Amino acid sequence: MIIRRAVPSDAAVLDRLMHDSSAYRGEYSVMLQSYAVTAEQVTSDEVYVLEDANKILGFYSLTNLKSCPELDLLFVADEAQGKHLGALLFEHMRQQAALLGASEVKIVAHPPAETFYLRMGATKTGVKPPSGRVTWSRPILLLAVPGAS
């Protein structure tokens, strides 16, 4: 199992993994309706994939790299859930943020993922109110990044 920097040709696989996620079914499906992971995003953001036997099982994306980095996406394939892969990706993201010199990472969370982020050491700092198609509030969290270079 390895974590590696994503390449533009990974975009279609990442997009499929994201859209296949059971976490975004039902009322939460509107979040992803017009969202696509693109080759341009893979190039411009810090996007890393977790791969086992040449199969991508998860990924994350850090955006806003010049100001306060934000964890934009973190997904683990449904069939790979429960194997601590999300925690592995999250810890890698924390290390990458430190290498980028960030002192913290902002997370506007999918509500069911809030407890995961709290378990991983993030602190809830607020709530983003509903807007547009999103008819529910989303927790805003900050993750302190010790050892930023």
What's the CATH code of the domain at 26? 3.40.630.30
User: Is the pLDDT score of 65 beyond 60?
Assistant: yes
Counting residues of the chain whose pLDDT is more than 90, the rounded percentage is 77
Q: Could you tell me if residue 38 is inside a domain?
A: yes
Side by side, the strands of the sheet bearing 2-5 are 2-5, 46-52, 55-63, 70-76, 104-108, 138-144, 123-128
Give the alpha-carbon dihedral of 72, 127, 97, 18, to 10 degrees.
-20
Per-residue pLDDT of 93-118, as tens digits, reads 999 999 999 999 999 998 999 999 99
**140 assigned to some structural domain:** yes
Chain centre to alpha carbon of residue 123: 16
Residue 27 has pLDDT above 60, yes or no: yes
Domain region containing 33: 2-144
Token pair in block for residue 9: 């040709």
As for how many domains the chain has, the answer is: 1
14 domain-assigned: yes
Residue 149 lies in a domain: no
Residue 134 domain-assigned (yes or no)? yes
Q: Decide if pLDDT at 147 tops 80.
A: no
Residue 66 included in any domain: yes
Domain for residue 16, yes or no?
yes
Residue 44 has pLDDT above 60, yes or no: yes
